[in-house]
Amino acid sequence: MTNKFPVTGFSLQCVLAFIFLFASMGAFSQAESPYSRYGLGTLRNPVFSANEGMGYLAAPYASGVNINYANPASYASLTRTTVEIGVMIDGARLSTGDSVYRASNGSVNHFAIAFVPQCKTGQWAVTVGLLPYSNVNYNFVQNFNDPNLGQYAENYVGSGSLYNAYIGGAYKIKGFAIGANAGFIFGNLEYQKIISFPLDSAGSYVTRNITTVNMKSFSYNIGVQYQKLIYHNRDDPDARRDIYLFFGAYGSGGLKMTAQINSYWDRYNFPISTDAQTVIDTLQQGALQTGKITMPMNLGAGLMFGNERFWLIGADFKYNTWGNYTTPLDNGGLANSWQASFGAQLTPKYDDRNYFLHMQYRLGAYYGKSEISFNGDHLGQGGATIGLGFPFKSVAHINLTADIGELGDPGNSQVLQQTYYRFTIGFVLNDIWFIKRKFD
């Protein structure tokens, strides 16, 4: 007698996946940058490995096997239950005048699971995941010579991360899809300002201000997509020759997020014999306060043409009203940001025996204005991406992406110029949860 029943695999695989998820939460960091001092830190682009290779193109992108978090309407196009884990290695070269500083780091970039019912593939799906929202990571010193105080230094140190845990879903009917993500942003940020004098100065204690921010708040974004067949050759049975038009748009409104803020001043010294600090007293202890942080409105839209089995080419545009950002902290002064992205993907022949012919090859570029305004100079940001997709039969593939870009104003020597690179590896598994097995 043969019994057929679905084996979901949640008993082992899902437990291991979530253990990895929570064990890696502390690793959602990014290379050091003084620009992470502004706002909520260095914002992480909420796209996954396939989109990154196409210049972060996201609004119109819909795939049967890759998760596109940025536009939740894309979930409805998934044809397989999918798990994706992204790992990133990033670095930065910071320069101003004759000074050059380099930093690098490695971290987990994202984790997501999309559930697609077998009876409704390509029509609706539900997904859950965790990805970084922003990182604060900087440490720099400014030296001063005051006629009254003499020589002293101000050391600025920041650390911490914010994360976005989300659940999303989408539904498609007759080529039109609508989707939404509901998220919870949480995490801790710490900012320190340390004022120190030379050791031989009289009463050369070190004064320090520490401000901590604990954030817990709801977030959301919604999206729509429309797909239409615009070319079909009835005499050619190869479905790769069909050409589709894809339109997509997404957005979220400006939310007021809740944050608990604590700030205090203390004094300490560094004994000559050791590197350990000795706290002398607390100059001012601030009470724990609950503040509101006004987040920007986020909008994006774009077009794409082609067929995922053969070629895709498209562009999109996104706009964020960071100029409306308000915070109880003294690190605002941001500006509205925008970015235009262009990307393409080619799969020479997805069913060919030659492995290199059924790989995915991706190219992209992006340019825009960041949210950072430094001394009235609205900093630009742009870069280029390249990506490769390595399929493994029909159950898995690996997406490799390289991104090289710049942040700053090359025409202003007083502005810190940041050249950065990012290498992302996306491990994507398909159809591992609802495989039917036979037992005699």
- Whether 55 shows a pLDDT value over 60: the answer reads yes
CA separation for the pair 403, 416 (Å, rounded): 20
pLDDT bracket for residue 287 (50, 70, 90): low
- Whether 440 shows a pLDDT value over 50: the answer reads no
Give the model's pLDDT for residue 77.
92
- Whether 319 shows a pLDDT value over 80: the answer reads yes
- Whether 72 shows a pLDDT value over 90: the answer reads yes
Compute the average pLDDT of residues 429-436: 62
Give the E-state strand segments of 54-149 in sequence order. 82-96, 99-115, 124-146
Our CA dihedral for 31, 129, 79, 13, rounded to 10 degrees, sits at 100
CA separation for the pair 252, 255 (Å, rounded): 8
Give the model's pLDDT for residue 120.
64
pLDDT bracket for residue 6 (50, 70, 90): very low
Q: 126 or 330, which is more confident?
A: 126
Give the model's pLDDT for residue 402.
95
Give the model's pLDDT for residue 29.
57
- Whether 162 shows a pLDDT value over 50: the answer reads yes
Helix (H) or strand (E) holding 74: none
Q: What percent of the chain has pLDDT over 70?
A: 83
For 107, other C-beta atoms within 10 Å of its C-beta total 20
- HSE at residue 18, side-chain half, CA atoms within 13 A, is 7
- Whether 303 shows a pLDDT value over 50: the answer reads yes
pLDDT bracket for residue 283 (50, 70, 90): low
Place of tokens 């005048």: 97
Measured in residues, the chain has a length of 440
Looking at mean pLDDT, say which of 104-113, 244-253, 287-296, 416-425 comes out highest: 244-253
What's the pTM value of the predicted model, to 2 decimals?
0.84
- Whether 411 shows a pLDDT value over 80: the answer reads no
- Whether 119 shows a pLDDT value over 80: the answer reads no
CA distances from 345 to 34, 314, 360, 389 (A): 35, 9, 7, 10
- Whether 318 shows a pLDDT value over 90: the answer reads yes
Q: 273 or 163, which is more confident?
A: 163
Under DSSP, the state recorded for 310 is: S
CA separation for the pair 158, 134 (Å, rounded): 13
CA distances from 412 to 321, 356, 415 (A): 25, 45, 6
Helix (H, G, I), strand (E, B) or coil at 324: helix
pLDDT bracket for residue 272 (50, 70, 90): very low
Looking at mean pLDDT, say which of 104-118, 269-283, 306-320, 374-388 comes out highest: 306-320
Compute the average pLDDT of residues 435-440: 46
Per-residue pLDDT of 10-22, as tens digits, reads 334 444 454 454 4
Compute the average pLDDT of residues 65-87: 92
Domains of the chain by start residue, with CATH = 3-439 (2.40.160.60)
Give the model's pLDDT for residue 166.
95
